Chains A and B, each alone.
Chain A
Amino acid sequence: MLEYKKENCSSCGLCEKVCPFGAIKIQEGFPYIDDNCTECGICAEKCPANAFCVEQKETGKQQTEEYRGFWVVGLEKEGEPLNKVTLELLSTARKLADQKKEKVTLLIKGLQEREDWKREAQKTGCDKILLIASEYSGYDAKLYTDAIECAIRRFKPEAVLFPATVNGRDLAPRVSGRVGTGLTADCTGLSLDENGHLLQVRPTYGGSIMASILTPKHRPQMASVRPNVMEIQWTDEKREVKVEYLEDFSSVAEDRVKLIGCIEKNNAFADLAEANIVIAGGYGLKNKENFGKLFKLCDRLNAAAAATRKAVDEGWAPAEIQVGQTGTTIAPDLYIAFGISGALQHTLGMKNAKKIIAVNHDPAAPIFDICDVAVLGDAGEVLEECCNILENKKA
């Protein structure tokens, strides 16, 4: 509880100004604390008269020094190569671990050692792959939670990173509840503070505010990290990747919940964030019919569809596929822009694409300055031709 000592108070009013939650009001010369107080302690820190005190009684204190090494949880399905987000997290973990001269471990479900996993992991500087051996194929929250709990209790990592994907965001809170530690969702930045704690930066209030979160006294420190925010960095170091099985682990999937069906969605609306090829449309496509063609093309080519805000506002494309400052941030290998002028709002969401091909009728369109291949022409007509080529190829 936040304690206020009236006898120390000099009525300077600073607390009212520094409270980030607007929970302090000066009334009749003295602060009044309302329900918005989150006990963040900033008032206590800033008060020149020491009139505030945040009780620092902590329980369940752990020996934080005992916990070492940085872990990444991979949620790959059977037979899948390592996901992009896993490699991003491994690279991030490597950077953090280097500062403390610690090791990076990938915790992943798999019955056998896989050469491609090992190779890719090695390139990011991963030291060890810890395999959860289970016959169960696919994602099951209970099985994963049991396994990760078992691994954490045995090896005591100081930080565990999860992908902030649908399943990652389902799993991470369960693990945090099980081991009783803190978890920060959807981080966009991770670093170490001066005490070596993991400083987790995340957007909040609809992205208008960034909060920096610490888990000072509990271990492991856990965070889920958004895909496509961290960079994949390959190292040339020749590092030996050890592969081990999580021993003495036996658990089964939740028997009260059964996956009885799965309908694949149109490929065009599959995972936009993970897609290697993205085909996007903007206002220059002029109508909904052209977007229909674009979605069909995406579906056939296994590419993900994207749209600008203007196209979404026009009702030509669903809001989920909006790319830009408001919308998804993507970093595909190939980005094809049909009828997109290249407004800042949009380019901020796709500027990390490796190769950009732009089709536009306006030679002065800003997107032509940043793209790799500039195609001058009517976006709708070129799209139509692309569909024709695909049709003919099939025939």
Chain B
Amino acid sequence: MKIVVCVKQVPDTAEVKIDPVTNNLVREGVPGIMNTYDEAAVMMALQLKEQTNGTISVLSMGPGQAGEELKNAMRRGADAGYLLCDRKLGGADTLATGYALAETIRQIGYDLVLCGNEAIDGCTGQVGPLIGEFLKVPALTYITDIKVEQEDLFCYRDTGKCVETYQVKGPAVVCISDKRLADKPYESRENIPEIHMLDAAHLEEEKIGRQGSPTRVAAISVKGKEQNYLKVDYRWDCETRIEYIMNGGLEKKKKNLNRETKTSQARLIMDAIMKK
């Protein structure tokens, strides 16, 4: 089985800082890491490779430094790394990214495409399904596990409400959502092949980069302060301010404390539930 895994280098979001003066993202000195879900997809690919005697190609689109993550994946056991790197690809939104990755995957050749369910920086979860759409193959999202039996894949999908099992025939895109896979131990190897550098020559120019992106970022702001913090008016007296903070800015409701026995208290709660 020929497996292609898409990986993205993301800034370590735990360390993303905002310049208090300019309100801009501070990128300098922020380390790049492999998106955790993509890491899980790489580990899943390694499992499948072992079971099916397959090969793994890792693909990333991004600046030159994203090659680090390809090397990381190859040290874990991926067989080849492809870096799609071209200034023309800059400013791509999910649609343009999905197109560029899908066309490149088509050229590399695949039986199965694995992606992380979403990236921990953008958190859109859109690129995986878009690759499926552009390749005209099914895309399965929120997959926690894959089993191979003969020619078929069995994918387990966690919807929150239930765990669904899908039987998949033929090529597909599968998006992995179980982050825990990323923590699996692996043996690191030293000798890894060179990365294949790709430019955008095989892509239609009007479908890539900013030109191929229908969406525009109109503004970026630090999250609405009202949502994250309380605004406390300094003109209020001390007591009001303390009360306001203690209430989390919510309206205070007058009521009596229920001091009955625990049995009648429990009954009160159960009655309230049963009424709904």
Interface residues of A (CB under 8 A from B): 1-2, 17-23, 34-41, 54-55, 57-60, 141-142, 145, 166-167, 169-174, 176-178, 180-186, 193, 199, 203-218, 254, 256-265, 269-272, 276-277, 301, 303, 320, 325, 333-334, 336, 342-344, 347-348, 351, 355, 357, 359, 363, 366, 368-378, 381-386, 388-390
B252 and A370 within 8 A (CB) = yes
B246 and A369 within 8 A (CB) = yes
Contacts A214-B215, A214-B216, A214-B218 known; list 20 others, CB within 8 Å. A20-B220, A35-B87, A40-B91, A141-B138, A173-B98, A173-B126, A176-B130, A182-B95, A182-B214, A206-B120, A256-B168, A256-B170, A257-B140, A257-B169, A257-B172, A259-B165, A263-B163, A366-B248, A372-B255, A373-B268
Which among B87, B162, B221, B269 is the interface contact of A262 at CB below 8 angstroms? B162
Report, nearest first, the 10 A-B pairs whose CB atoms are least far apart: A35-B63, A182-B214, A385-B266, A39-B91, A177-B133, A182-B215, A22-B27, A218-B214, A261-B165, A185-B124
A173 and B94 within 8 A (CB) = yes
Residues of A within 8 A of B258 (CB): 373-377
Instruction: Give 28 A-B contacts (CB < 8 Å), ordered by A residue.
Output: A35-B90, A39-B90, A39-B209, A57-B211, A58-B211, A60-B206, A141-B138, A167-B159, A169-B126, A173-B127, A173-B133, A177-B130, A204-B123, A206-B13, A209-B222, A210-B224, A214-B216, A216-B216, A254-B138, A257-B169, A258-B167, A336-B269, A348-B248, A357-B269, A369-B246, A373-B258, A389-B267, A389-B270
Residue interface mask B129-159, A partner, CB < 8 A = 1: 1101110001111100000000000100001
B269 and A257 within 8 A (CB) = no
Q: CA separation between A313 and B225, bound complex, in Å?
A: 26
Residues of B within 8 A of A334 (CB): 272-273, 276
Residues of A within 8 A of B262 (CB): 377-378, 381-382, 384-385
Q: CA separation between A165 and B257, bound complex, in Å?
A: 39
Residues of B within 8 A of A276 (CB): 276
Which among A260, A263, A363, A371 is the interface contact of B253 at CB below 8 angstroms? A371
Residues of B within 8 A of A212 (CB): 217-221
Distance between B230 CB and nearest chain A CB, rounded to angstroms: 7
B125 and A185 within 8 A (CB) = yes
Distance between A3 CB and nearest chain B CB, rounded to angstroms: 11
A166 and B159 within 8 A (CB) = yes
B217 and A265 within 8 A (CB) = no
Q: CA separation between A80 and B101, bound complex, in Å?
A: 38
Q: CB of B183 within 8 A of chain A?
A: no
Given A205-B121, A259-B165, CB of A215 within 8 Å of CB of B265: no
Q: CB of B16 within 8 A of chain A?
A: yes
Distance between B220 CB and nearest chain A CB, rounded to angstroms: 5
A169 and B125 within 8 A (CB) = yes
Nearest residue (CB) in B for A343 is B248
Q: CB of B223 within 8 A of chain A?
A: yes
Residue of A54, A60, A344, A384 most packed against chain B (CB within 10 A): A344
A208 and B223 within 8 A (CB) = yes
Nearest residue (CB) in B for A25 is B28
A172 and B27 within 8 A (CB) = no
Which among B28, B65, B127, B213 is the interface contact of A182 at CB below 8 angstroms? B213
Q: CB of B187 within 8 A of chain A?
A: no
Q: CB of B93 within 8 A of chain A?
A: yes
Q: CB of B24 within 8 A of chain A?
A: yes
B218 and A215 within 8 A (CB) = no
Q: Which of B228-256 contact A (CB under 8 A)?
A: 228, 230, 243, 245-253, 255-256
Residue of A38, A181, A218, A371 most packed against chain B (CB within 10 A): A38
Q: CA separation between A213 and B85, bound complex, in Å?
A: 25
Which among A199, A208, A303, A390 is the interface contact of B16 at CB below 8 angstroms? A208
Q: CB of B53 within 8 A of chain A?
A: no
Q: CA separation between A17 and B18, bound complex, in Å?
A: 13
Nearest residue (CB) in B for A203 is B223
B95 and A36 within 8 A (CB) = no
Given A174-B132, A263-B162, A344-B230, CB of A369 within 8 Å of CB of B253: yes
Nearest residue (CB) in B for A258 is B167
Distance between B139 CB and nearest chain A CB, rounded to angstroms: 7
Residues of A within 8 A of B248 (CB): 342-344, 347-348, 351, 366, 370
Distance between A22 CB and nearest chain B CB, rounded to angstroms: 4
Which among B14, B123, B132, B250 is the interface contact of A347 at CB below 8 angstroms? B250
Residues of B within 8 A of A22 (CB): 24-28
Given A167-B159, A209-B25, A370-B247, CB of A178 within 8 Å of CB of B133: yes
Residues of B within 8 A of A145 (CB): 133
Residue of B63, B125, B142, B162 most packed against chain A (CB within 10 A): B125
Q: CB of B22 within 8 A of chain A?
A: yes
Nearest residue (CB) in A for B124 is A185
Nearest residue (CB) in A for B251 is A370
Which among A55, A206, A254, A262 is the interface contact of B164 at CB below 8 angstroms? A262
A333 and B276 within 8 A (CB) = yes
Distance between A116 CB and nearest chain B CB, rounded to angstroms: 18
Residues of B within 8 A of A173 (CB): 94, 98, 124-130, 133
Distance between B19 CB and nearest chain A CB, rounded to angstroms: 9
Distance between B9 CB and nearest chain A CB, rounded to angstroms: 11
Q: CA separation between A145 and B139, bound complex, in Å?
A: 12
Q: CA separation between A167 and B18, bound complex, in Å?
A: 33
